[in-house]
Every structure is written in structure tokens, then in C-alpha cells.
Structure 1
Amino acid sequence: MDKTYVPKGKQEGEWWIVDANEQILGRVATHIAMILMGKTKPTYTPGVDTGDYVIVLNASKVAVTGKRMTDKIYYGHSGYPGGLKSISLKEQLKVHPDRVIESAVWGMLPHNKWGRKLMKKLKVYGGNEHPHAAQNPKLVA
């Protein structure tokens, strides 16, 4: 019987660019989460960081279906009594479009140390420009 291959040590990840312009929020977030976890590679091993870095462009132009633009609400709490804050998806896309993608991707990653480490590999920008040209990112097809 052959032994199972387990990648060891720190793997150098590649850099990918995802253009979220007119793409459905959930579908693009799923694809990003798969790349971050390394599930698109044949060397994927649960609990081992084999994923790549992802740069998301045009986060402010992401699309949603139905009435989510007005009905979807993001909640936050200041920690003080009566400190519940809410903001709709439409307002969030105007003010902080990166948080919309980050929130959707975070919901699809493991909620532990590994998931927090993977979130650091996600770079989201509302516009078409990014400062990561030195990493030679490739466009996701």
C-alpha cells in the first residue's frame, strides 16, 4: 500500500486576480474561498495551508439577486448597551465595498485559527487598481 502524500513546510502561494464586476456575490465568494483554502490544487490537505493569495477588484460593482440590495442588513455591535448598528447592502457597497466581499468569504471559511490566517491572504479593493503588481498576479478565468 502506498502512503498518503502530506505537504510539509510553508508553501509559497501564487497570486490571483478576481474581477467581481457584475458577478453574483455568493458565487464569486465561493470561488475565492476555494482558492484561499487550496481546494483547486491536487495537493489539497485539510488543515494544511496550501492555498493562494487572492486580489479582488471592483468589489463595489458586485451584483446580487432579488431584493437583497435593500433587504440584506449587516449588523455590528459596539459592545455597549444599545450599541447595535445596522447598515443595508446598498449603503455598505457605497461606504466600504471591501467588507461585503470579506464578510461573504469569511462565512465560507473555517471559523478558527486557520480561517483567520486564510483571511489575511485576501486583498479586496473597490476600484480597478491594486498595489500588488510586484507579485505578478494571474487573472482567474
Structure 2
Amino acid sequence: MSTTLAKPAEMADRKWYVIDAAGKPLGRVAAKAAVILRGKNKPTFTPNVDCGDHVIIINCDEAVLTGKKLEKKFHRTHSGWIGGLKETQYKTLMA
């Protein structure tokens, strides 16, 4: 079995990426950041090794939600207790 393993020096080389979220859909920015954080944009990607890079997202308050998600979508948190579900509209979170 011939398996090529990346050297630890290659894995330790982490870069910083800056993503501008102004005017871009929130999901696309999150997906792009997840790929970079996981390291799937590198040719030496290995699922069991932390080979991701650092990400800074700027202008998060200017990200957009498409469609009617501001009114219809909710951010839900639960405390674990009975009746502990709290829902907040994205409209109030983005304000």
C-alpha cells in the first residue's frame, strides 16, 4: 500500500485569510470560511489532521440574507429545561 503522508512542517504552515462579507449571502461566506478552516483548499488535505488556516471575516453586519429569510427564519436556542426554547428572528439579530 503506497500512502503519501504530508510532512509536519507543511501542516504547520498556516496562512491568514480575510473574507469580506459585504453584500454577499451569509451562507456562501460561511461555506467558504468552512472550507478554509478545514483545509480542504490545500493539496495536502488529510481528514484526520488539522491542516486548516486562520480566517478573519470583515463587514459581517453588511452580509445579506436572500428571499424572506429576515422575517421567516429564526435563531433557536434551548436551555435543556422544559419550555426553555427561545426563538429570535434574524431581523432582530441583524439590526
Between the aligned partners of 2:18 and 2:38, the Cα distance in structure 1 is: 16
For 1:32, the aligned partner's letter is A
Partner of 2:8: 8
Tell me how far apart the structure 1 counterparts of residues 62 and 84 of structure 2 sit (CA, whole Å).
30
Alignment of 1:76-87 (within 5 A): 76-87=77-88
Q: Which residue of 1 aligns with 2:34?
A: 33
TM-score, length of structure 2 as denominator length:
0.86
Moved over 3 A (4+): 6-10
CA RMSD of aligned residues (A): 1.9
Q: 1:78 to 1:2 in 2, by over 3 A?
A: closer
Q: How does 1:40-79 map to 2 (within 5 A)?
A: 40-79=41-80
Query: How many Å apart are 1:44 and its aligned residue?
Result: 0.7
Would the alpha carbon gap of residues 88 and 45 (structure 1) be closer, same or farther in structure 2, given more than 3 Å must change? Answer: same
1:8 to partner: Cα distance: 3.3
% same residue: 41
Q: Which has the higher Rg, Structure 1 or Structure 2?
A: 2
Alpha-carbon distance in structure 2 between the residues aligned to 1:49 and 1:21: 29
Which whole-Å CA distance do the structure 1 matches of 2:83 and 2:2 have between them?
A: 60
Aligned length: 94
- After superposition, the C-alpha distances for 1:10-66 in whole angstroms (9 at most, x for unaligned) are 614111111101101111111110000111111111121111010011111111211
Measured in 1, the distance between the counterparts of 2:12 and 2:83 equals 45
Q: Any unmatched runs of 5+ in structure 1? A: 95-141
Displacement of 1:2: 5.0
* Runs of at least 5 residues in structure 2 that lack an aligned partner in the other structure: none
Deviations 1:89-114 (A, max 9, x none): 111123xxxxxxxxxxxxxxxxxxxx
**Which of the pair has the greater relative contact order for Cα pairs under 8 Å at 6+ separation?**
1
Q: TM-score, normalised by structure 1?
A: 0.60
- SS of 1:22's partner is coil
Partner of 2:90: 89
In 2, the alpha carbon distance for the partners of 1:35 and 1:56 equals 12
